[in-house]
Structure 1
């Protein structure tokens, strides 16, 4: 039936805005045709998320001319200019899914529980462990104060320790935590630990919490089994958390597939697209409060969430973690330290404001570089593999043990970087978004870059569970805006020394050649859909992906920005002297045409 669908409606209920999109079959292919949005209405005075959903759908109706609603009922199936075949939705309203996890050993079962919760689309508020160094009363107070949506309790291999897991359960009982949403129901607790401890856990928590038992996430030390616990998290998210949020009970009755947490849906469509295209990809969704980083490498999916790095509500945390010098280094025009701090704090106080001057824009984009960099560093720290370990993993399960593991992120092997979130999707010039990602991620060799046009990845992620073809087609044709390709060299030299020689042969027979010097960046026009042949020979000590000093021959794809040849070296070097640094930044901005004259 999925291929017979002609009209699909999808919504994403965000913390501030509810976004609706209409997908229709056009000429035998699925395309995103119309979009509407409305303020989310999960809080007072409405206390009903469906109000915002209906308002967003009404805007789609007005723009498309299609009759979708009959009062508060979504018409189905689709007919001529009337109704839709399917309605799906995601949600992060009310702060999304917030969890605490607990395990016996910080670097083992507790870390496995953290990977499981992050992969299910949760924000992990805290990680408790028997050996985390906190006193019993501190752990109890922490559980009581945080008020998570649910707790994932793990610990002990099957047949292993029981006493430590029981101790953690007693902390939860003593804290008697109240759920964040809905004061009249019990807090969901998932036990995914030693099966020999199930009887004792039932005795301790069975009468105080909504306790659910599932398979051990670490049945033996050498293996993780995150799938069953992750599915349980999704089920409880719908049954308990969503059901308590105002209006979600009604919304769940409308949808043709289970409502998904927004981050889980974004990760799902990235995994589907990577599989369809055979790509290794890296993606980011930078929001006001959090920054999510996703990667798919050799089919292994990893997600991390930096809950304290964002562009509005969490912008002061970016300043605190990065340090003021790291932000100042991206500014051409210096700003007095106190004024810089005041501007950043004003953004936190007034999170919905947008830059009004070029200086404001430059500051926000400087902050975004550091937020993206810090979130990527956190992602790399968790995206590591276990050596010689059998793994049972599916999408969202690809976090691997940090200790002794090999990083899954090899920038030479990343084919595509996708940026999403307001600062990237709505940058006044696409070149600015591309430059922010290149500066933050410092890709190596040849990498394609793209941005999410209007943030429709959540809609497509939940849709992919029902109609994978429609979701993938729209993702590749309408969601992704190809920015172009970047060829970057790894290495260092004195400024002005040769970095690599290049020859670009275009499809129309034209060609251009030259030598890029260390510290330079060059932008060549290569429009979307166009390809060119690129030959490059690095100087001694530089590597373009073939080895130090070894030439490469590549087929490059274009985009709205074009082909970028990056001779600034890796790691990226910025002069210490402020005037030299400002001159360097001006030269890069001019080469990329970042700002109007």
Structure 2
């Protein structure tokens, strides 16, 4: 019998990743929940083991040794705790076996299909492809593509309730003709969730029932002006547990051990990002840069969005970063002469040997250059989906007549962003925290006043699933043990002239008054671990969030890096001339002390 949140004293949570299974033990320490120990072991979902619980046992065994207590017996995890044995709560997340892979289909690519995509991504899925009536492909090409994909499930949307039925029925006809098969297992039908026009259910059922496992949920676009993603996301999660997890080796046993449903890893990370944004009433962007994918999460004005760039990563997918961004964009972050072919070969070697790490400063600078481009591309992709509802009529005023942008702008406003949270090897395990902070600043280019943080040891998935059961414990551990606050980035926007005074800051530190002026083209760091009152004065014509030329006085949060004063301009401009670029980058490195030996290691050598 599961204890109530008030009775829970100890929590074990595991994340079964594609390569590593990570376990954390959380215990009540006085009035607060804190991380006690952490263990990890290789995931065992593939041959020769083919039993995910073996990897879980190995990771938990390490936790037992470090904590000096018994958590398992021959049956499984001991819950609830019996004296000094076992834990009160056991939870799990998983992306082993490739995670949740979905295909979505809708009538109009920029309307119902886009809503279906948001529903799937928010539930923690990788969207393999989006089929739409107006996607430009011929009928046979769509059928061929559906047959090739072999997704875990399909989400079908289209039409408002009571509207035209013919187009969404056309989607059902395409699926019926393709007769798609599931990725895992052959003894069950492919799950298809229908969340389109209610009036078309009979026709859709006539085409698909018997061939697939068809489920009906409420329309995600019941009217043009409204998007209802909750029921579809809940059904995706239920089917993930019922079908996908059931087919993976050892998951039935793992499911019998857990006290709550197993959650897809990306969905769990999104859950903790949502929880933090809601608890603190702030706008947040979170990013998880992995070996194969880069996930971006955002919570803006109570609207949650998630995107997964399934082809952008730092090991398995590193060559895709090169293809998408081009060698020139990677080289713009490298302050020394290097043959482009040598960089390409290094990238290919990383793909072939994904577990290797940089051994020299030169290797590190190249790898962090690639990370900046992967993050930047993933964020650009995220902004294209984090938009207002398409197809909705909106009132416009006279100022909109002079707005040259498209009418479908992203809802993400960098000036309104309060916090960026970074995760994944390139950010969580950078040799110096300062490098993580500057990589995020360079990739996301925040504006105004924005806090920066990283996940210390990548425990966000476990805390995400915990937040659905025990929000207090999840939030306390997230803020005290998971997040490392790097500091705050202060960035004025507007026409910043190189060499001209752009920003002045006044503050009290160690009992003394300080005043600093930052010039256009510079980035500075003020060491400061605690918060301090700052008077921030932008130059005339520049904006820090209050309007052009208007100063602001506020409490600014410090961190392990301090307070970044970035006056390099937005968008960031880097010279295309190799010698000028090297000088520009080395100046920034020197101003921030990003690479302490950069002046010796590079200026005397290849940086000349």
Q: Is the 8 A contact 2:111 2:389 kept in 1?
A: no
The partner residue of 2:107 within 97, 104, 109 is: 104
Residue 438 (structure 1) shift: 0.5
Q: Which residue number corresponds to residue 571 of structure 2?
A: 571
Q: Structure 2 matches for 1:37-48, cutoff 5 A?
A: 37-48=40-51
Q: Distance in 1 between matches of 2:331 and 2:51?
A: 43
Taking the TM superposition and a 5 Å limit, the aligned residue runs for 1:70-89 are: 70-89=73-92
Tell me how far 1:406 sits from its aligned partner: 4.5
Q: CA deviation at 1:389?
A: 6.1
What is residue 231 of structure 2 aligned with on the other side? 228
Residues 502-538 of structure 1, C-alpha deviation per residue, up to 9 Å, x if partnerless?
21213x42232121111111111101xx121111222
| Aligned pairs (5 A) from 1:479-518 | 479-506=482-509, 508-518=510-520
Contact 1:490 1:571 in 2 (8 A): no
For 1:208, the equivalent position in structure 2 comes to: 211
Preserved CA contact (<8 Å) 2:43 2:52: yes
Structure 1 counterpart of 2:380: 377
Q: CA deviation at 1:224?
A: 1.6
Give the SS at the match of 1:87: strand
Select 1:316's aligned residue among 303, 308, 319. Answer: 319
Inter-partner Cα distance in structure 2 for 1:249 and 1:93? 14
1:494 Cα deviation (Å)? 3.6
Give the number of aligned pairs.
584
The match for 2:171 is: 168
Any conservation in 2 of the 1:109–1:218 contact (CA below 8 Å)?
Answer: yes
Q: TM-score, normalised to structure 2's length? A: 0.93
Deviations 1:397-434 (A, max 9, x none): xxxxx973443211111111100000000000000000
Q: Distance in 2 between matches of 1:157 and 1:495?
A: 53
SS in 2 for 1:224: coil
Among 523, 526, 538, the residue aligned to 1:524 = 526
- Report how far residue 80 of structure 1 moved: 4.9
After superposing the two structures, state which structure 1 stretch, 314-323 or 139-148, moved more.
314-323
In structure 1, what is the equivalent of residue 299 of structure 2? Answer: 296
In 1, are the aligned partners of 2:79 and 2:90 still within 8 Å (CA)? no
Bigger shift: 79-88 or 445-454?
Answer: 79-88
In structure 2, how many angstroms separate the alpha carbons of the residues matched to 1:195 and 1:422? 45
Deviation string, structure 1 residues 209-252 (Cα, Å, up to 9, x no partner): 11111111122222222211111100000000010011111111
> Structure 1 residue 37: deviation in Å?
0.4
Whether 2:463 is the aligned partner of 1:460: answer: yes
Give the Cα–Cα distance (whole angstroms) in 2 for the partners of residues 64 and 306 of structure 1: 38
Q: Is 1:283 matched with 2:286?
A: yes
What is the CA deviation profile of residues 115-154 of structure 1, one whole-angstrom value per residue up to 9, with x for unaligned ones?
Answer: 1111111111111111112111111110110110001111
Q: Distance in 1 between matches of 2:35 and 2:168?
A: 49
Q: 2:583 matched to which residue of 1?
A: 583
Q: TM-score by structure 1 length?
A: 0.95
Displacement of 1:387 in angstroms is 8.4
Query: Quick one: distance in 2 between partners of 1:434 and 1:363?
Result: 17
Structure 1 residues 425 and 128: alpha-carbon distance in aligned structure 2, compared to 1, 3 A threshold:
same
* Residue 545 of structure 1: how far off its partner (Å): 1.6
For the residue of structure 2 that corresponds to 1:407, the secondary structure is coil
Q: How does 1:307-386 map to 2 (within 5 A)?
A: 307-386=310-389
Give, in whole Å, the separation in 2 of the partners of 1:82 and 1:534: 51
**Distance in 2 between residues matched to 1:426 and 1:542, nearest whole Å:** 35
For each residue in 1:333-354, what CA deviation from the matched residue of structure 2 results, as whole angstroms up to 9, or x when unmatched? 2220111111111111211211
More displaced, 427-436 or 411-420?
A: 411-420
1:545 aligns with 2:545: yes
Residue pair 1:386, 1:406 contacting (<8 A) in 2 also: no
* 1:394 aligned residue: none
The residue number in structure 1 matching 2:594 is 594
Output the aligned Cα RMSD: 1.7
Residue 65 of structure 2 aligns to a residue whose secondary structure is helix
The separation in 2 between residues aligned to 1:387 and 1:323, in whole angstroms, is 31
Distance, in Å, in 1 between the alignment partners of 2:406 and 2:460 is 33
